[in-house]
Amino acid sequence: MNRFAALLDRLGYEPRRNAKLRLLTDYFRHTPDPDRGYALAAMTGALMFKEAKPGLIRGLVEERTDPELFRMSYHYVGDLAETVALIWPAPGHDAAAKVDGTPTIGHNNPPPHVPTLTEVIETLATTSKSDLPARVAGWMDALDETGRWALIKLITRELRVGVSARLAKTAVAQLGQIEPDEVELVWHGLEAPYEDLFAWVEGRGPKPESGNPAPFRPSMLSHPLEDEDFAKLEASEFLAEWKWDGIRLQAASGHGSDGRPVRRIYSRTGEDVSRAFPDLVDALDFEGAIDGELLVVREGRVQSFNVLQQRLNRKAVTPKLIAEFPAHLRVYDILFEGEEDLRSLPFAERRRRLEALVARLDDPRIDLSPMVPFTTWEDLAAARADPASVGAGPDADAIEGCMVKRANSPYLPGRPKGYWYKWKRDPYLVDAVMMYGQRGHGKRSSFYSDYTFGVWRDGPGGEELVPVGKAYHGFTDEELVKLDRFVRNHTVKRFGPVREVEYGKDKGLVLEVAFEGLQRSTRHKSGVAMRFPRINRIRWDKPAAEADRIETLEKILERGEKEVHPLKEDQAERPGKKRKEA
Amino acid sequence: MALRSTDILTQTPQGLYCPLGDFHIDPVRPVERALITHGHSDHARSGHRSVMATRETLRIMGVRYGEDFAGSTQEAPLRESIRIGDVTVRFSPAGHVLGSAQIAIEAGGTRIVVSGDYKRAEDPTCLPYEVVPCDVFITEATFGLPVFRHPDTRGEVRKLLDSAALFPERAHIVGAYALGKAQRVMALLREEGYEKPIYLHGAMERLTELYKAESIPLGETPKVVAAERSKLAGAIVICPPSSIQDLWSRRFPDPVTCFASGWMRVRGRARQKGVELPLVISDHSDWDDLCRTIQETGAGEVWVTHGQEDALVHWCTTHGIRARPLHMLGYGDEGEAEEAAHPPLEGEGREHRERGGVETPTSESDGADHPTSALRADPPPQGEDMA
């Protein structure tokens, strides 16, 4: 348990992906089975404890601490789990016990037993509700602060140390000469503590059988299309589709050994997200695997990414949520049909198979991503500039450019060169004024590399700047040095790692910020949040007074909302409508 | 009849004052006669007419302020009673840094102990704390909350050594206060068997030399040569806390930012400073040791000078000990000073990096059991490359 706790502790502070990988691999290499397998399960979200709940910990700590001291401590630390871990009065550590309580020397109590990770996980999974408090309290007594913190994280099942399931699996793959995608392929047939998986990657055992009748297959990804690429690419060899502003999904369906259908939905990194989309899982009435985009479609119209996010951000998937934000899969590729692997077929051929499958399915929740007809790159450029004019109709707002695919391309895992390209529409641009600089992480920890910027609005005392976003990339190394120098030389206030810089009508630095979209936000003073903001250009030449006003952003926001919220108007006019849909 | 404690020691704008002996203890402004507990700059200031302190503290003040830091100086031998006016004073080891002492003041059968800063944990660079029984115990409360429980320092040093072994291509830059903490970290590294040179920021040099001259073995401690920073892959470098994120640290190979401080116990604190490897090593007493020490002195009354006074006063009261906070200003400026400043921006300090900058998901909404959290888990930015 202590090793696992130390790993979580270190991961939580480590901002770099590669360093995290190194820490994980080192842990997996030096930790025996089955502990390392349970650690992997914890990090991939594969654990489930029926009776161990956060309330259990709260109850235990309340019995053991002065409420006033706990209140002051919680106020200071700001995080409940951490406060509990630190304040827990372990025997022998407790001031009262040392002096006026039970003697710590010469007693007959057995020394506290520090549990292994395996013991913790197995006990949490099997112990009855009535016996759990005593077991957990015993561990809390035996563990140190970091150990207790890790134990609480396990019980609440919220590790929050910046490790995705994918990263943990990549670390396992790095134990041997195995590609992460191969681990992904066998993953769904495996169970904690994954001893067969470790044996395989370490070359001590056979490749585990994938017992999953609906496995994930690694997604094929695209490269951005740059201006200079067009000269090298022959338009007639390519096909084009819209690039939808949704979420990439893979839907797989098969039959279990008992003959019952097994239907799963995966993210593009292979995480099983089926339980978030029961409405879509229902629709997977086929055998095979298809690739497409998750969208919210209301009355046949694709909604903006903002609307989709309202479905994604909910924890509980209720019938109401499903009715209000119906999930839709717009498909563009097929990997398997039945047992037949189609991935080596040319894209054009797969497309025909896909069209036939979608026609057979005949389900409004699954449809085809239409092809965009073009002969020359100029044709496609015109389509990309105005999708509505080329058949996208009212869905044009949910289109963020074109996908350009070689007609003969096989379906390859990863991001192979020369087959698929994304040609995104031009970003929105706004001129904003730098307001704060924050120190970066890792290599950038001595640079002020994250910038909060604002635009003008009318305030009580005249025009004022209101922060609208924060960006930490888009500039070159040389520009970073200059931006860092600007922050240091124009600091007016310091707040820990953040510096407020000089800004006003006649002073300040204008940043041209590029972003992909806007959404309303209650967390930001300005009421808007940007998607993918980055520094497009540094306008050393532009006076701050000439930066944009908030109305510029409001207009972008309103245009999107007006066109993608027809349902709201419907509800107002026809109150019975929503019930019928549900 | 015994004197009242407030007849022996009172509070003035300069700090604690003993009218019967006409001297101040650790005054924050220049006074006629000052008794100094230890060499940290918030306790030991220059410009007093006369200064009494331990031999080591006087040397430290000489190094920091120049030999003319006071009109006259008088060495206070440890554990010896010295008569000043109508009181007797006695200096005893406080275990805080080299030369640190508590000062006991006795008059009319009442004894007050001004403990200065102190710790009970083991420290190879100074004498251990000695309990001095007293009627009134005056204590700091820098870590006066029950969440502060300092771990075994060996474990913390091992964390540093393990990391240096795992990342041999990177330099480990350890922020540590120039007096006491820096030398303690060096000594602990040596005790754990680390034999390579430990590189020092220039600001560490003179005090480290003084420690060595006081026969504390710290091994080879070369000063970092500016032009050679980029060659220090695999090295352990010790610098003042302010330098870990300064321009100075920029040239080291892919530095791992470490910070040795009791504040590192709280994760939010470490994150706020951008620390990647927090080392919970403190020269102050943790909560348990504060409580234990108060009880061991047998004091019926406790005055709390600075730090987290409220919680310690509450604890004393619930344990039948009279206690009051002094709310003294001007302390805690060096060593493990409280640093104020929470950024005013919404969501600052949280991670904003998921899905390449979508602003809404915060750590609050990013729970592992969130049904769609996986969808937002686009691969994080690769190795923080400078774009």
pLDDT per position as a tens digit, A90-103: 776 444 443 333 44
Of residues A258 and B116, the one with the higher pLDDT is B116
Do the chains contact at A22 and B296, CB–CB below 8 Å?
A: no
Q: Is A542 on the interface with B (CB under 8 A)?
A: no
Indicate whether B256 and B123 sit together in one domain.
Answer: no
Q: Is A207 a catalytic residue?
A: no
- Are residues A263 and A406 located together in one domain of the fold? yes
Tell me, yes or no, whether A106 and A237 share the same domain.
no
Q: Among A228-232, A249-253, A290-294, A333-337, which stretch is predicted with the lowest mean pLDDT? A: A228-232
Of residues B292, B372, B382, nearest to A276 (C-beta): B372
Higher pLDDT residue, B2 or A558?
Answer: A558
- Ranges A62-76, A398-412, A515-529: which has the least confidence: A515-529
* Close Cβ partners of B104 (under 8 Å, ≥ 6 residues apart): B89, B90, B91, B92, B111, B112, B113, B114, B132, B134
Please give the structure tokens belonging to residue B197: 């040179």
Q: Is residue A391 part of a domain?
A: yes
**A22 interfacial to chain B (CB closer than 8 Å):** yes
pLDDT tens-digit series, residues B181-190: 999 999 999 9
Q: What is the DSSP string of A18-41?
A: HHHHHHHHHHHHHS-TTHHHHHHH
Do A330 and A443 belong together in one domain? no
CB B130 within 8 A of CB B101: no
Q: Which domain holds residue A141?
A: 48-156
Residue B201 lies in a domain: yes
Asked if the Cβ–Cβ distance from A473 to B387 is below 8 Å, we say yes
Beta bridge partners of B191: none
Question: What residues of chain B lie within 8 A of the CB of A167, using their CB?
Answer: 380
Chain A contact present for B269, CB below 8 A:
no
**Total domains present in chain A:** 3
- Give the minimum alpha-carbon distance from B252 to chain A in angstroms, rounded to a whole number: 10
Touching A: B residues 297-326, CB under 8 Å: 308, 310-311, 314-315, 318-319
- Among chain B residues, the shortest Cα distance to A74 is held by B147
Residues of A in contact with B372 (CB under 8 A): 273, 276, 311-313
On whether both A64 and A134 belong to a single domain, the answer is: yes
Residue A247 forms part of a structural domain: yes
Residues B183 and B247 in one domain: yes
Distance to chain B for A525, nearest Cα, Å: 8
Would you say residue A217 has pLDDT above 50?
yes
B134 and B241, same domain (yes or no)? no
Residues B209 and B296 in one domain: no
Question: Looking at the structure, do residues A386 and A502 belong to the same domain, yes or no?
Answer: no
Structural domain total, chain B: 2
* Structure token digits, residue B173: 């830059």
Is A128 part of a structural domain of the chain? Answer: yes
Task: Give domain status of residue A168, yes or no.
Answer: no
- Residues of B whose CB is below 8 A from A89: 146
Give the predicted TM-score (pTM) of the model: 0.72
Structural domain contains residue A574: no
Q: What does DSSP assign to residue A272? A: B
One domain, residues A275 and A366: yes
CATH code where residue B248 lies? 3.40.50
Strands A247-255 and A288-298: what pairing?
Answer: antiparallel
Q: What are the tens digits of pLDDT across the range A400-435?
A: 899 999 999 999 988 899 999 999 888 899 999 999
B384 touches chain A (CB under 8 A): yes
Amino acid at A135: R
* B11 and B94 co-located in one domain: yes
Which tokens belong to B183? 């030398």
B288 lies in the same domain as B275: no
Q: Which amino acid is at A237?
A: E
pLDDT, tens digit, for every residue of B130-139?
A: 999 999 999 9
| Residue-range definition of the domain harbouring residue B157 | 153-279
**pLDDT at residue A76, rounded to an integer:** 85
Which residues in A lie closer than 8 A to residue B249 (C-beta atoms)? 445-446
Is B367 part of a structural domain of the chain? no
Q: Find the catalytic residue in A153, A169, A243, A405.
A: A243
Residue A411 maps to a domain: yes
* Residue A74 belongs to a domain: yes
What SS3 class is residue A292? strand
CATH number of the domain encompassing residue A257: 3.30.470.30
Q: Give tens-digit pLDDT for A548-577.
A: 999 999 888 876 654 433 333 333 333 333
Which pLDDT score is estimated for A445? 67
CA distance A438 to chain B (A): 9
Are A209 and A189 in contact by the 8 Å Cβ rule? The answer is yes
What region, left, alpha or beta, does residue A351 occupy, with left being phi > 0 and alpha being psi -120 to 50 degrees? alpha
B274 at A interface, C-beta within 8 A: yes
Query: What is the dihedral sign for C-alpha A279, A281, A282, A286?
Result: positive
Could you report how far apart the first and last alpha carbons of chain B are, in Å?
Answer: 76
The pLDDT assigned to A560 comes to: 60
CA B123/CA A438 separation, integer angstroms: 36
pLDDT at A381 over 50: yes
Residue A89 lies in a domain: yes
Query: Is A480:B327 a contact under the CB 8 Å cutoff?
Result: no
Identify whether residues B132 and B40 lie together within a single domain: yes
Contact B367, A315 (CB under 8 A): yes
* CATH code, domain with B108: 3.60.15.10
